[in-house]
A and B are shown apart, each in its own frame.
Chain A
Amino acid sequence: MNLENELREALRREAAPEGFADRVLAKTRGAGPMWRRPVVLAVAAALVMTVAIPSEVARYRRREQRRAIEARDQLIQALAITRVQLRHAKEQIRRNTRHTL
């Protein structure tokens, strides 16, 4: 009997609080500013990326180009120094040979 009463108590009809239906309806209508909608946010993010990515790629390319130019200049200078040293050695050998002859 006791259980029966408890169940009846728990399952009895109860009226919804005042304005409950209106609040639920307002939420389901997607209330809130337009810009906060996920689709709008996704489009905005895509637009930002289409502007940001190419400029970042261009900046990376410019940086790599600068590095390559610097490396090329160093290579030319390194080969020039090597050439000077080899010629210098040749000259020294020639000079020494002339002395000993």
Chain B
Amino acid sequence: MKTALLLIVFALAAPAQQNFDFSKLDKLGAKAKGSTNITLDGAMLKLAAGFLGDDSDKDSIQALVKNLKGIYIRSYEFEKPGLYSKADLAPLRAYVKSLQWSKIVDVKDEKETTEIYALALPNDRLGGLAIISAEPAEFTVVFINGTLNASDIDKLSGNLGIPNLPKR
């Protein structure tokens, strides 16, 4: 009986663990002076990839997003330090850890920290990528769910025809 109950609990918990509730971070947006919220699930990614037109990097971008299940970005800039705390990002860190993703980069400067988590798969592939970059008055979270090639990361940090964003 106990085993059956435990199985039911695990069965219910498993799907809940599949997605992080980004609305937890969205609440912080109310205090931010600038914010970027991007939520692209599988269907939206397909829609977007099919509408790249005659972009010269269309094929590369389509190949990059082909096996992705979702891209989630939350970037908030606050008026002054102290309007968000490290604890606000703890649930995301805990979630990424629960997915068994490894922390492949952990850089701490005087004021800023950058963490990169990834799930390594065979054949130079990644099962997902998360970037948490935090400064006293701003933070950016990038969460990419799905399979991508390690070379795609190189391409991303290269150019891939993606326009430059103005430096903040």
Which A residues have a C-beta under 8 Å from some C-beta of B? 65, 67-69, 71-72, 74-90, 92-93, 95-96
Please give, as numbers and ranges, the residues of chain B lying within 8 Å of A82 by CB-CB distance.
71, 73, 129, 131, 142, 144, 156
Which B residues have a C-beta under 8 Å from some C-beta of A? 36, 38, 40, 44-45, 47-52, 61, 64-65, 71, 73, 75, 105, 107, 109, 112, 114, 116, 129, 131, 133, 140, 142, 144, 153, 156-157, 160, 162-165
CB–CB B157/A90 < 8 A: yes
CB–CB A75/B165 < 8 A: no
What are 7 of the A-B contact pairs (CB < 8 Å)?
Answer: A71-B44, A74-B40, A78-B71, A81-B73, A82-B71, A89-B107, A89-B116
Please give, as numbers and ranges, the residues of chain A lying within 8 Å of B64 by CB-CB distance.
79
Query: Main SS of the interface on chain B?
Result: mixed
Nearest B residue to A71 by beta-carbon distance? B48
Shortest distance from the beta carbon of B7 to any chain A beta carbon, whole Å:
38
CB–CB A81/B153 < 8 A: no
Please give, as numbers and ranges, the residues of chain B lying within 8 Å of A90 by CB-CB distance.
157
CB–CB A75/B49 < 8 A: yes
CB–CB B131/A86 < 8 A: yes
CB–CB B107/A79 < 8 A: no
4 smallest A-B Cβ distances: which pairs?
Answer: A71-B48, A68-B51, A75-B48, A86-B157
Complex Cα–Cα for A68 and B133 (A):
29
CB–CB A86/B48 < 8 A: no
Further contacts, 17 of them, CB under 8 A, given A71-B48, A82-B71? A67-B47, A71-B44, A72-B47, A74-B48, A75-B48, A75-B49, A75-B61, A77-B73, A79-B64, A79-B160, A81-B38, A81-B73, A81-B75, A82-B142, A85-B133, A86-B153, A88-B133
CB–CB A80/B163 < 8 A: yes
